[in-house]
Structure 1
Amino acid sequence: MAVRRVVPNIQSEAVQESREFYGLLGFEEVMNHGWIVTLASPSSPAAQVSVMAGDKTAPVTPDMSVEVDDVDAAYAVMRESGAEIIHPLQDEEWGVRRFFVRDPSGRVVNVLGHR
């Protein structure tokens, strides 16, 4: 299993204002589902930040997202380790397969793979 990218998720009631703020630093919008906007550096596309009002299908807003090349393997590893699964493994309508897990410091991590 390999990590493809890591993206901080910022919960905000001011999504548009945050989009504009990070735009001042050179980030450009690469995804917008209304409830989440992902911004990336044009010169280094894996450098990203997401701003979200709340998660559309999960009970909590994750603190960060980790994209892996095999989300099913990551899920199996986390379950076997006894880590707390916050949101079960499932396919989402926007093309990702994901689950949420709590890290030892209490942060919620969205672990995902693109289908």
Structure 2
Amino acid sequence: MKKHLALFCLSLITLDVSAQVTNSSKKQTTMKLNAGIVTPKLKETKAFYTAVLGFGTTFENDFYLLMHTPNQQAELSFLLPNHPSQQPLFQKPFTGQGMYLTIEVDDVDKLYQELKQKGTLIKIELRTEPWGDRHFAIEDPNGIGIDLVTYAPPQNGNN
């Protein structure tokens, strides 16, 4: 019995190694996106994303803040401008234009009501677009528009 169990375990190990070798030749590069914003407003930014959107802090030091969505499925980072630890490419501050974030939620109507009750300034009121998006928008302390959306099929066949 021990001999059969040992052979069975050995065959499982062999199958696993074989599967790893086969899969490794087909394996694609894994990527995880983390948008970063260079801003002097780390404290205000942390307070906003925590209080308004329920983000948590993944990591923080005196010049860098990494935050995650409530379900920890995505992260967003913030970096002080002109920090000596960073290369010149990552030192210029965001100027408050030309960027937006889209955050998909399960129930945009519920979130809209919650943010209204908190007194959050709504920049674009809740609406349904002909192409199906139901969304509203707010703005973070850095001037970044945040589109909060629940996707739906297009109305009347519009795309």
* TM-score bracket for this pair, using the shorter chain length: 0.3 to 0.5
Which structure features the higher share of helix residues?
Answer: 2
Which structure features the higher share of strand residues?
Answer: 1
Q: For CA contacts below 8 A with separation 6 or more, give which structure has more relative contact order.
A: 1
TM-score (norm 1): 0.46
TM-score (norm 2): 0.35
